[in-house]
Every structure is written in C-alpha cells, then in structure tokens.
Amino acid sequence: MAQGLSLLMTASFDSALTAPAVARNRDLILAVLREVLAAPGTVLEIASGSGEHAVHFASALPHLVWQPTDPDAQARRSIAAHAAQARLPNLLPPLELDAAAAVWPVTQADAVVSINMIHIAPWAAAEGLLAGAARLLPAGSPLYLYGPYREHGRHTAPSNAAFDESLRARDPAWGVRDLDEVAALAARHGFALERTVAMPANNLSVVFRRNP
C-alpha cells in the first residue's frame, strides 16, 4: 500500500478500505461539487483512495459518469470492492493512473477532481496533475482540488502546521502546499483560480477553470 494511503485508512478483511475522514467530509464536498459539476459529463477522479468518495458522488450525482483512478493497487481493489457493493451504472471500474505520468490512460473528461492528494505526494504529482488536466480538459472545464493549504506562505491553523510537519517527517517531498504556488502552477497550464470555499478542519475546496 502506498504510504499516503496507509496514513489515513484502515482495511477490513475484504478489499474495501475505510478512510474515516471520508464520512466527515463527503457531504460537505458534495455540496460544492453539486455547483461545480452541475453539467452532465465525465469526471476523472485522481487519487480515489478507498473509493468511498467515488461511490458517494456517483450515487448523488447521477448526471455524471465517474471515473475513479489510483496508482496504488490496493486502493484500486478497494475502489472495485466498494463499487461492487454499490452497483452504480455511472461508476466506471478504477484505472491505474499516476498523476505525474506524461501519459494518462484516459482520453476524454469534462472535469477533474482530486481530493487530498497533492500534499501526500511529491510536488511532481501536482505538476503532473495540472499538466494532465490541461492535456485532457476542454476550455471552460473545472478542476476541483480539496485539502489543506498554506495561504500567502503561512499556515492557516496550528493543526495544519502540525500536519505539515508530520507529512515532511514521513517524506521530505510531501507537505501542505501553498495556494499561491498551486495557483501559479495552474496558471502556467492555462487554469484560472475561480474560487475557494472554506471547509471544515481547515481544508479548502479550490476550483480552477480551464481558460477559453
């Protein structure tokens, strides 16, 4: 199991993993996604982890086709296990996808969603995420990110600073990213920062929009 996954998840004796944070954040994220993903289309989720978000969002947003992905084989088994229980017609089988890869195994999407990934991966994963979203998404499409961020070089809460320290202790290439740096990276790839939404536990929903 990838380190980022093992950090935050517990496995039951079948393949379905449970990430306790998902139960706390999924409905609040869903409320934002209802606005951001109002139009029908295919959503590519990067770093689906346990797959619990994918099932929750595909179930609540039947006008969308949801494509979960994760580079980690155990995560993909968990996504498949949750999907098998849910039996949703608009939830596709998980794909192996490393955001940092130069080629993604997907040729079409109308939106990209990535929750709690860019701080639990090297910066190259954030660079790859923006490059891949730019390759894939048509003008006007949304890119939705969720997670903790520094703002203007500062942590927004002591808990985020402590989390950042714990991430960097596990892997010096990980860490809570600065929103300014992520927005600058996004701008280089043709995405404008549309809005941020404050979320519980000092997280942010960050919505980018592909430039026309």
Residue 129 or 179: the one with the smaller Cβ distance to ligand SAM is 129
Q: Which stretch binds ligand SAM (CB under 6 A): 96-104, 132-140, 187-195, 203-211?
A: 96-104
Interacting residues of 20 by C-beta distance below 8 A, sequence separation 6+: 8, 10
Residue 53 or 177: the one with the smaller Cβ distance to ligand SAM is 53
**Element holding 85 (H helix, E strand):** helix 73-86
The contact pattern for ligand SAM, residues 16-35, with x = CB under 6 A and - = no contact, is: ---x--x-------------
Per the DSSP assignment, residues forming a β-bridge with 207 are: 144, 195
Interacting residues of 3 by C-beta distance below 8 A, sequence separation 6+: 120, 170, 171
Residue 58 near ligand SAM by CB under 6 A:
no
Q: Which stretch binds ligand SAM (CB under 6 A): 10-18, 47-55, 57-65, 82-90?
A: 47-55
Residue 70 near ligand SAM by CB under 6 A:
yes
Q: Considering only residues 30, 100, 134, 204, which one is a binding residue for ligand SAM as defined by CB under 6 A?
A: 100
Number of amino acids touching ligand SAM (CB under 6 A) = 25
Q: Which of residues 113-152 bind ligand SAM (CB under 6 A)?
A: 115-117, 120-121, 125
Q: Are 157 and 172 in contact (CB under 8 A)?
A: no
Write down the least CB distance from residue 99 to ligand SAM, Å.
Answer: 3
Q: Are 177 and 129 in contact (CB under 8 A)?
A: no
Neighbours of 207 (CB within 10 A): 21
Rounded Cα–Cα distance for residues 179 and 117 (Å): 14
Rounded Cα–Cα distance for residues 110 and 210 (Å): 11
Neighbours of 85 (CB within 10 A): 12
Write down the least CB distance from residue 191 to ligand SAM, Å.
Answer: 18
Write down the least CB distance from residue 45 to ligand SAM, Å.
Answer: 8
Interface residue list for ligand SAM (CB under 6 A)? 2, 4-5, 8, 19, 22, 46-50, 53, 70-72, 75, 98-100, 115-117, 120-121, 125
